[in-house]
Amino acid sequence: MTVDRLNELLLGGALVLLVAVAAVRLTSRSGLPTLLLYLAIGMALGEDGFGVDFSDAELTRVLGYAALVLILAEGGLGTRWRDIRPAIPAASVLATVGVGVSVGVTAAAAHHLVGLGWESALVMGAVVSSTDAAAVFSVLRRVPLPRRVTGVLEAESGFNDAPVIILVVSLSELDHESKHWLELVGGMALELAIGLVVGLVVGRIGALGLRHVALPAAGLYPVAVLSLTVLAYAAGALAHGSGFLAVYVAALVLGNSRLPHRPATRGFADAVAWLAQIGLFVLLGLLADPSGLWQDFWPAIVIGLALFLLARPLSVLVCLLPFHRSWRDQVMLSWAGLRGAVPIVLATIPVVAGVEDSDRIFNIVFVLVVVFTAFQAPTLPWLARRLGLGGGAEGTVEVDIESAPLERLRGHLLSLAIPEGSRMSGVEVAELRLPAGAAVTLVVRDGTSFVPQPSTVLRRGDELLVVATDPVRDETERRLLAVSRGGKLAGWLGQTRGSSRVRRRRE
């Protein structure tokens, strides 16, 4: 590696990133996930395109794991607990029992219809059984679905990576003479339990520390939060648990804690996740062999049809039977189980392990993901309208509060903007009824700032600056969130300033 070679790599990397960033505009208009275009960029850079020679499956798997950690961290940080909390039981069953049903049905199709051996067929079924967090988070947040549906899909995509990765690794390295299936299931349950505990511990301790320690620069908070999520992954993996479950749970806890500079933290995590997605998809495109993809095109279509028309609907039907979901919800949940980078990354595991037909498995998975994602994603808005599920704008929009600790002054500076749909619009400053020790000190309206009077009426688009002392910081934030959801009558509707129990019930 020379300086000139480094300059060439930086030039090429910068150009690829700029093209990838510009491509987001195109994909957002068409409704296609950006992963398809990024995979195309990687294939164009490969041997059949610009001639870049890359065939290291082991390096792809390692870098893919690192990218998935960042993608899951961003997903957890951006997920509202109150939206997915009612969906946790259903999503947990889909991420475990649903995966098992999907693996069995898909493996049977791969064996009987495509001719793969049972070991290879089981690996194939496990590889494609996971919905992809990046695809789900990027597509569904643009589709106006009810929270009861998006909550299940987001929670499932965040949870099911962990059991599927454990299953694929176990099946790829399975010694049938020494490992019974009960041992396999027990080991998976133990790893998931360890990952859950590690994620909760790291998330709770990290949130407690960041809330009580004032860092010298605001830019350090996003770095600290993302570092905590990576710490959760590493600690979970080294403890022989599921690092992927640990990172998602830790990010979920941190993202729903009242941390300083939360909007800046989510923005930083979003940027890092985009960078990870671009690098991962381009790398996977480089690894693909276009000639091999064409040879396995029709087997991929057959297995994909079995997965999306039989395995996925059957797993949704079986898993949601105890939860009495409507048939419309079940149809949408079946069709919106998007696949993306995760199955392609998982397909490198059998390649590294030397599983029979592993190269064919990779080609089939690659084609399956590209073809069916290109068809599924653009049809989601149409299907939602046909099913009468275009209700994603349920309820009101709450404010997003930015908090900055003032260590030497023993206080906190809270800033927020009143968005469209917030019931804080039309409320007088006095009607906020902030606790003693907190006050609205400044309002910015139409580019002009002024000190408000108690009778000042707040409007959409206003930016507020609130100062609160340490003892009432949490109570102040709870009150602001309550007014943003319930308006000036929030307290009269049973939501008291200090009652988190009542607040949780109303949410």
Are both 418 and 285 inside the same structural domain? Answer: no
Q: How many domains does the chain have?
A: 3
pLDDT value for 258? 77
Residue 92 and residue 9 share a domain: no
One DSSP character per residue, 154-195 reads HHHHHHTHHHHHHHHHHHHT--TTT--HHHHHHHHHHHHHHH
Is 182 domain-assigned? yes
One domain for residues 338 and 425: no
Question: 3-class SS at 392?
Answer: coil
Whether residues 257 and 109 fall in one domain: yes
| In a shared domain, residues 383 and 418 | no
Helices (H), 86-180: 88-93, 99-109, 118-127, 133-140, 147-159, 161-172
Same-domain pairing of 12 and 117: no
Q: Tell whether 38 is covered by a domain.
A: no
Same domain, residue pair 74 and 142: yes
Closest C-alpha among 300, 302, 315 to residue 369 = 300
Range of the structural domain that residue 455 is part of: 400-506
CATH number where 423 lies: 3.30.70.1450
Judgement on whether residues 422 and 383 belong to the same structural domain of the protein? no
Q: For residue 449, what are the β-bridge partners? A: 444
Q: Please indicate, yes or no, whether residues 382 and 404 belong to a single structural domain of this protein.
A: no
The reply to whether 41 falls in a domain is: no
In a domain? residue 240: yes
What pLDDT is recorded for position 94? 92
Q: Are residues 17 and 88 in the same domain?
A: no
Domain boundary among 387, 408, 441: 387
The pLDDT value given to residue 142: 67
CATH of the domain at 300: 1.20.1530.20
The answer to whether residue 40 is domain-embedded is: no
If you ran DSSP here, which 8-state letter would residue 428 be given?
A: B
In this structure, the answer to whether residues 375 and 288 fall within a common structural domain is yes
Residue 492 lies in a domain: yes
Boundary of a domain, candidates 387, 410, 442: 387
Rounded average pLDDT per 10-residue block, the chain, 507 residues = 82 84 67 71 79 83 90 87 86 90 93 90 91 71 76 85 86 60 77 93 92 76 93 94 92 87 83 88 85 86 93 93 90 86 87 87 91 83 82 52 63 83 87 89 88 90 87 85 82 47 36
Task: Give yes or no: residues 276 and 127 share one domain.
Answer: yes
* CA-to-CA dists, residue 238 to 233, 249, 250, 296, 380, angstroms: 9, 17, 16, 38, 39
Domain-terminating residue out of 356, 387, 418: 387
